[in-house]
Structure 1
């Protein structure tokens, strides 16, 4: 306790929770978001062929969470575009990312040490958005836990949840890449964070919001920086998720699937046997023809 007091951890936590994210952290968020857009196949060609479509995709990457949350809460989905400073900053980042001479801007922000710093800063913004989303939903629906979790989740990962809409703007349609079917780490972590912040907002979790923001940001930033540095796409929660899901929902390869696979295998074996017999008969027929000749 004396060590914690000497380090003034409580003051650090409170100061961190009040740290403004505009403009420095917001710019980092825009840079990483649009950097991921540039990684998408065909994104660079689209920026040359249709700059307007490319800009709209970039705005969805930057503000998709706000748009989706406003739609769910019955607000205007273009309200956030009234923040001229944020829109101009995001637009400037988009222009530099795609049209900077010699791709100097892209080379600088994609340099791994710089990228790791920006990734950590982006997670600071993500956690703040989750917390703000929970507070906003609590103001509209005081006892609506599901609504609070949903809005917090959307605030943290709305860009990924709207990925199919963004793909349509790029002329791509890949329904099999639905984020709900194949959740990435940020989407899963945003959902878990939304649950924690909802419990805290409803006074079911005995921790202050400042502490929760600090420790959850630390967790998110650490995991994301490590995954980016090691080029890992797996979830750090995979072992825990597999254990819990196997208990609550059963194994993914249950008896039903086993029977289906067994039936499929039997069908393949029968088909292979029939095919072998046909080949054998065909060979016998050919030999008889040769003898007759």
Structure 2
């Protein structure tokens, strides 16, 4: 019983969230850098930092926003946790704009990826479990379809909102070269 409670508290841990947010920012930067030409790669990030920050927030909190609509809560409720949004923004800033790209180079190392990939997998499983519990509480334990839909959306919420994020980047940068396709 104690191990179960310990595992459920992991996503609230500071280092756990820090690794998760840095991994999402790293994936976003790598995807955008892969689509940009080598001449435009540095100016690609400098042109519209607000759009990149908004895209990072959208991809980070996409699942919670979508599920809140289904569960009857406010869609922007995940953004009401100011320290969490600040940590997410700091991770984004360090990955995209650290001096000499030191944080980006550190995050691209195998050691960081070996730490961050399991953290993201554990986070995804725990979020799905939380979503199934919440859907069962709101819709009743015998409503199988809403429980499956909420669990699926929480498991792949960022995948569902990637077209919206790509449109946001393309519109703010007046280009059609940006595609957001995060890989897990």
Do both share a fold (TM > 0.5)? Answer: yes
Matched ranges for 1:192-271 at <5 A: none
Q: Is 1:153 aligned to 2:152, yes or no?
A: yes
Is the 1:127–1:156 contact (alpha carbons within 8 Å) kept by the matching residues of 2?
A: yes
3-state SS of the aligned residue for 1:162?
A: helix
TM-score by length of 2: 0.82
Report whether the alignment pairs 1:14 with 2:14.
no
Cα distance in 2 for partners of 1:36, 1:104 equals 16
* 1:137 match: 135
Equivalent residue of 1:21, what SS?
helix
Asked if the contact 1:167/1:173 (under 8 Å) is kept, the reply is: no
Q: Which residue of 2 aligns with 1:123?
A: 121
For residue 56 of structure 1, what is the aligned residue in structure 2? 54
Alpha carbon RMSD of aligned pairs, Å?
2.6
SS at match of 2:61: helix
Partner of 1:35: 26
Separation of aligned partners in 1, 2:148 and 2:94: 36
Higher relative contact order (CA 8 A, sep 6+): 2
Structure 1 residue 49 displacement after superposition: 0.8
Tell me the CA shift for residue 54 of structure 1. Answer: 0.6
* Separation (CA, whole Å) in 1 of partners of 2:43 and 2:161: 22
Q: Secondary structure at the match of 2:126?
A: helix
Between the two proteins, the alignment pairs up a number of residues equal to: 170
Q: Provide the residue aligned with 1:76 in structure 2.
A: 74
List alignment gaps of at least 5 residues for structure 1: 1-9, 187-293
On the 8 A contact 1:38/1:44 being kept in 2, the answer is: no
Per-residue deviation at 1:158?
Answer: 0.3
User: Within 2, Cα distance between the matches of 1:185 and 1:108?
Assistant: 19
Structure 2: unaligned runs, 5 residues or longer: none
- Pairwise CA distance, 1:170: 1.2
Mapped contact 1:46–1:170 kept (Cα < 8 A)? no
Computing the radius of gyration from Cα coordinates, the structure with the larger value is: 1
The alpha-carbon deviation at position 137 of structure 1 amounts to: 0.7
TM-score when scaled to structure 1? Answer: 0.53
